[in-house]
Structures are given as C-alpha cells and as structure tokens.
Structure 1
Amino acid sequence: MFLKISNNIHLDHLHIADAPRLYEAVELSRANLSQYMAWEKSVVDVSGARAYIQSRLTSGLDGAQWFSIQFNNQFSGVFGVKYIDPDKGVCELGYWLADNARGNRVVGQILAVMIPYLATELGVRTIEFQCLQNNSASIKIVKRAGARLLRKVPNTLDIPNKEQAIGIYSLHV
C-alpha cells in the first residue's frame, strides 16, 4: 500500500498485474467512462488494460506517478500525477473513478491528502486539471478542492459531444 487516504480508501502504485482488475472496473463502468475518456475504447480486454497501464508507467514525463484507487478493497479507478515540472513547480493531476465508488467523494478525499503531499514533499506550487466542459462531476471535484478555471481549449478527444471544450483548471497551493 502506498498511501492510506481513509479507512476505506487507499492508493497503491499501479502495476501491470492490475490489468485484470482494471479491465473489470472499466467493463462495469463503460457507459460513464465512454462519455469523457477516449482511452476507454482501447480497453476491451485484459491485453488492452495492460497496454493502458504500460503507457502510463512508461510515459517518460518528469515526476509521473500512477496509482490504483482502492475503495472498500476493490479496484475502483486510477489516480495520476501526470507530470511535475520542477522548475516551475507545476504538476497536472488526472483520475477516473469506476461506478462502484462514485458518489462517495473518493477523489475529493484523495485530493485532500495528495495536494498537501505534493506541496510539502515535492515542491509543487500549482496543480492543473483538465475537465471536459460537460463533465460536471469532475468540475465539481476540482472546484471543491479550490481550483479555478484558467482557460478553455478545443477538444481533440475521440468522445461523444466533441464540440465541448476542455477546461484547464488551476490550483495554487
């Protein structure tokens, strides 16, 4: 276990061995994930889940760290520090949550622990999030954490409702 968030939430380092559980979580949550996550189309079997994990673990981006979200001892999503720019003190966080954990403020609780950790232990001063403009749940989470809309950029993701922009949200810590 990497980090205990609460009695029923913890983060583990993401491993290739997580592929079967990740695939199962995607399969059970496909209807929701397909609305916002373009990668969902490539996770159609355990091999696709392995490729998803491998691409994150080998991104080559500075400071990248990827974790499985465990909620009630079940694989319930992925939380990532996508990169850390040590010169600017900026990082980007990303996450997705399976249906088995939605509605329990799981990501909000994770952010409440990870944001101070990133600031004090890794020197991060600004955290960025990218949210599709129709992803009201994700926008609510980042706003509750204190992030504010910085700008909107065109959406290039292969998802339904392609006309929606991507909001770049920023949190100064």
Structure 2
Amino acid sequence: MFAVPLTADAELRPLNPWQAEEFLANLDRSRAHIAPWVAPSFVATDLDGARHVLQGYADRWARDDGGIWGIWCGGTLVGGVLLVSLNAARGVCEAGCWLEPAAEGRGLVTRAVTRLIDWVVDERGLHRVEWRTDARNARSIAVARRLGMRRDGVLRELLPGPEGRTDLEVWSVLAPEWRARRTSSAASG
C-alpha cells in the first residue's frame, strides 16, 4: 500500500516503527558499509534501537520536519531515503540515503531521491534541497552529481572520526533548477 515503483522489482514506501524488525535486518546486512557515513544513532544494533530510530522519524513526520521511506527490492528492505530535516517556513530540507551493498549499482537511490525531490518541490513547495556528505564518501557525492546538484562548499574538519576530523560537503538543488532539469530530461527522452 502507498508504494511508488522504482524499477520492475523495486519500490519506495513509508518505513514505519512497526517494521523495526525488517529495518534491523537491513541494518545488520549493511552496518559495516554505512557506519562510516551515517550518524551512529541511525545504525541501531537491537530491536529497541531500530524501533527508536523509526519512531523518531515517525515523530518528525507528525511534526512536519522530516521523514523516512524504505526501498524494497524483491520484497526485501535494502535501504531507503530520508528527509533529515524539513523546514517548510524556510522552504529548505536535507535529503539523505542508505543502501546495503548487495543493492548497489542499480540506480535505486538516485530513483528514490528523485521521487523524494519531486515531492518536496511539487507537493510541498520547498525551494532548496540539500545533500550533506562526508567529503570521503564518493558514492554519495556521485548521487548528488547524478541528481544535478551543485556543490555549495565544504565545512572543513566538521566531522569527528576515529582517524581524525573530516570535511563535510554541502550540495544542493533549487526548485527552479530541478524543474528545468526535469523539463530538459523529458524533452530529450
């Protein structure tokens, strides 16, 4: 119910607290792969923690300041996209993602984030979508580029880590740029 197709066998749909067991299984398959790039609080290690993460996003959705959606491939949760933040009054949000290694290379994240940006621009009327990523995360930067985002800048040594502080890159796309890119893609496709 409420699913958006991404490919013939993949779909995007809301990820809710009652799906904590499935979310934890996905995290278990992807933990080592995503841990360097996401907040430690996201990578739950037990069922209560997974439920807490999803409940936090459900609460954000209820407050209209964020949300989370899962990507299911062949009926299995393989990752997802999220609105880390959403400020309707300012017209700004931050999008993010995670994906287990076995699901990479199929364009699932790019398709899912495209649907998310379409929604925040067309339905919510937001003006700016941000993408913030560790400067070492080449896959995340590649997604930002595929989405037509521009690199706004670097927040130097913002993120603490086990190997020292690292830079955070800020990418964004503005609503007029998004609409123009979509129109251009439709005209050429």
2-structure distance, mates of 1:42, 1:26 = 6
2-structure distance, mates of 1:61, 1:133 = 31
* Alignment TM-score, normalising by the size of structure 2: 0.81
In structure 2, the partner of 1:13 is 14
Rg comparison, structure with higher value: 2
In structure 2, the partner of 1:28 is 29
In structure 1, the partner of 2:74 is 72
2-structure distance, mates of 1:52, 1:41 = 6
In structure 2, the partner of 1:147 is 149
Richer in helix (by share): 2
Quickly say closer, same or farther: Cα 1:61–1:41, change in 2 above 3 A: closer
Q: Are 2:130 and 2:172, in contact at CA under 8 Å, matched by a contact in 1?
A: yes
1:24-173 correspondence runs (5 A): 24-39=25-40, 43-59=44-60, 62-153=64-155, 154-156=157-159, 159-173=161-175
Deviation at 1:162, TM superposition (A): 4.1
Deviation at 1:134, TM superposition (A): 0.6
1-structure distance, mates of 2:40, 2:136 = 18
Amino acid at match of 1:38: A
* Alignment TM-score, normalising by the size of structure 1: 0.87
2-structure distance, mates of 1:34, 1:43 = 10
Amino acid at match of 1:142: A
Deviation at 1:150, TM superposition (A): 1.0
Residue segments in structure 1 that go unaligned for 5+ positions in a row = none
Quickly say closer, same or farther: Cα 1:61–1:130, change in 2 above 3 A: farther
Quickly say closer, same or farther: Cα 1:160–1:78, change in 2 above 3 A: farther
2-structure distance, mates of 1:40, 1:100 = 23
Percent identity reads 23
Q: Are 2:42 and 2:53, in contact at CA under 8 Å, matched by a contact in 1?
A: no
Which 4+ residue blocks in structure 1 deviate beyond 6 angstroms? none
Quickly say closer, same or farther: Cα 1:43–1:86, change in 2 above 3 A: closer
Q: Are 1:30 and 1:40, in contact at CA under 8 Å, matched by a contact in 2?
A: no
Deviation at 1:70, TM superposition (A): 1.0
